């Protein structure tokens, strides 16, 4: 932990210092704007100058989910996100960063800090940082809390860079930042199948405009503090996009030692993710996400546990300010080791749930202003297994109606 702390502090200090010097040189060619409100190339208006040595931006995101079963506990089932049918502040998200801006043939330093306050803090906690070793929430409360999902320094050239510190995983399709997701609700693969963040180092290389390669080592799944027997994990990823941008194919893998189903024991955990994107026209986009993972000695009987699934997305741009989307997911957790629900929020009907989960979501993305995103959604879930994960243990299916609003600043 001390080693990572020294590397992290050094990276951030060097990144911010070098970033200021780099912007001084660039200002000769591109003077800094004196306006307080800055409109980006996408029309988003920021309250802070985006050409400053350190940029500041973010968003506030919240919503309400209505459960048509109206469970007495107010819990929507075994979710880690939007798990209650009450109004929720999901994310008050702040980003402070200095991106790499190397001139041709030169290298540069950068850095980034992400701060998240809200209901979604639960997804971004790291053991040994926000969360204690016994998995208690440390400085946070049950419902709303504070997390630092990214703190890293970065050094590199225009096409080759290295991150050191705390960063989001590169595996999977959906992610923690609400701004990057089409739907307000989250897929099972996002909530239960993989890690959210890592502590370590990640190398990014773009050998051409069509290839993006990544590789690195990390401290594990969502943890800063490791057991003495654990070995560092490995991250690998590659993505190819055809010149016409008609389709792209990417794959990512992580493998390493992780805690098993037995206290103080570790075993190999490996997960891969494959994402195929098809864009036949400017209006249509199709996404197929397949994932598979296993954990040695992951079950109570010391057998290898497995979980896998397929998510499919279809998006259609109706007009400039309106998009429609559909998501269908199948997630298999036959060993009952993944889908459970948040442990510290009082859900009376937590896992394990051995079986298959299915979900179908239909929603809209409305942008009446570049800073404003409104996301209504209808979601249906059903489960094929022995237990009943919904309606406080009474049903194997449910329907949710949700509305979400996000404002960038």
Confidence grade of residue 341 (pLDDT, cut at 50, 70, 90): confident
Confidence grade of residue 12 (pLDDT, cut at 50, 70, 90): very low
**Cβ contacts of residue 57 below 8 Å, gap of 6+?**
46, 48, 50, 94, 95, 408, 409
**The tokens of 250 are what?**
């990417």
**Cβ contacts of residue 391 below 8 Å, gap of 6+?**
67, 69, 71, 398
Nearest-angstrom CA–CA distance, 40 and 51: 10
Strands (E), 157-246: 160-168, 197-205, 211-218, 233-241
In the predicted model, what is the mean pLDDT of residues 330-354? 87
Question: pLDDT value at position 229?
Answer: 63
Quote helix, strand, coil % in the chain, to nearest 5.
10, 50, 40
Question: pLDDT value at position 7?
Answer: 40
Confidence grade of residue 135 (pLDDT, cut at 50, 70, 90): low
Return the top range by mean pLDDT from 74-83, 134-143, 170-179. 170-179
Mean pLDDT of the chain: 87
**Cβ contacts of residue 31 below 8 Å, gap of 6+?**
none
Asked whether the beta carbons of 102 and 161 are under 8 A apart, the reply is no
10 Å CB burial of residue 71 (0-12, 13-18, 19+) is buried
pLDDT of 232 > 70? The answer is: yes
- Residue ranges per structural domain of the chain: 2-408
Confidence grade of residue 136 (pLDDT, cut at 50, 70, 90): low
Number of other residues whose CB lies within 10 A of the CB of residue 33:
13
Residue range 2-408, CATH number: 2.40.160.10
């Amino acid at each position: 932990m001390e080693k990572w702390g020294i590397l992290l502090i050094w990276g951030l200090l060097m990144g911010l210092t070098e970033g200021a010097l780099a912007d001084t040189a660039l200002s000769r060619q591109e003077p800094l704007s004196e306006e307080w409100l800055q409109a980006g190339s996408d029309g988003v208006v920021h309250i802070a100058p985006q050409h400053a040595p350190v940029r500041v931006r973010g968003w506030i995101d919240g919503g309400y989910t209505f459960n048509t079963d109206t469970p007495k506990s107010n819990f929507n089932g075994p979710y880690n996100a939007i798990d209650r049918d009450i109004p929720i502040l999901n994310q008050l998200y702040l980003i402070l960063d200095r991106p790499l801006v190397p001139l041709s043939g030169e290298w540069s330093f950068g850095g980034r800090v992400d701060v998240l306050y809200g209901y979604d803090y639960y997804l971004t906690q790291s053991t040994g940082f926000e969360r204690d070793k016994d998995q208690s929430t440390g400085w946070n409360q049950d419902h709303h809390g504070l997390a630092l999902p990214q703190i890293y320094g970065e050094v590199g050239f225009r096409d080759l860079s290295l991150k050191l510190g705390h960063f989001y995983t590169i595996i999977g399709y959906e992610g923690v930042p609400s701004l990057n997701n089409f739907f307000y609700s989250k897929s099972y693969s996002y909530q239960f199948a993989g890690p959210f963040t890592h502590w370590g180092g990640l190398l990014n290389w773009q050998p051409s405009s069509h290839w993006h390669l990544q590789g690195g080592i990390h401290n594990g799944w969502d943890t800063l503090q490791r057991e003495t027997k654990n070995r560092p994990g490995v991250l690998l990823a590659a993505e190819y996009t055809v010149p016409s941008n008609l389709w792209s194919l990417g794959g990512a893998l992580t493998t390493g030692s992780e805690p098993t189903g037995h206290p103080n024991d570790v075993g190999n955990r490996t997960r891969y993710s494959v994402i195929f994107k098809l864009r036949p026209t400017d209006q249509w986009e199709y996404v197929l996400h397949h994932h598979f993972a296993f954990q040695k000695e992951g079950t109570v009987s010391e057998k290898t546990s497995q979980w896998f699934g397929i998510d499919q997305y279809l998006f259609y741009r109706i007009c400039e300010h309106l998009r429609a989307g559909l998501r269908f997911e199948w997630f298999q957790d036959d060993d009952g080791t993944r889908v459970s629900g948040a442990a510290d929020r009082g859900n009376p009907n937590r896992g394990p749930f051995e079986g298959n989960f299915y979900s179908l979501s239909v929603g809209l993305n409305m942008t009446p202003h570049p800073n404003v995103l409104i996301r209504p959604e209808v979601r249906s879930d059903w489960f094929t297994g022995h237990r009943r994960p919904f309606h406080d243990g009474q049903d194997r299916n449910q329907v949710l109606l949700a509305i979400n609003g996000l404002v960038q600043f």
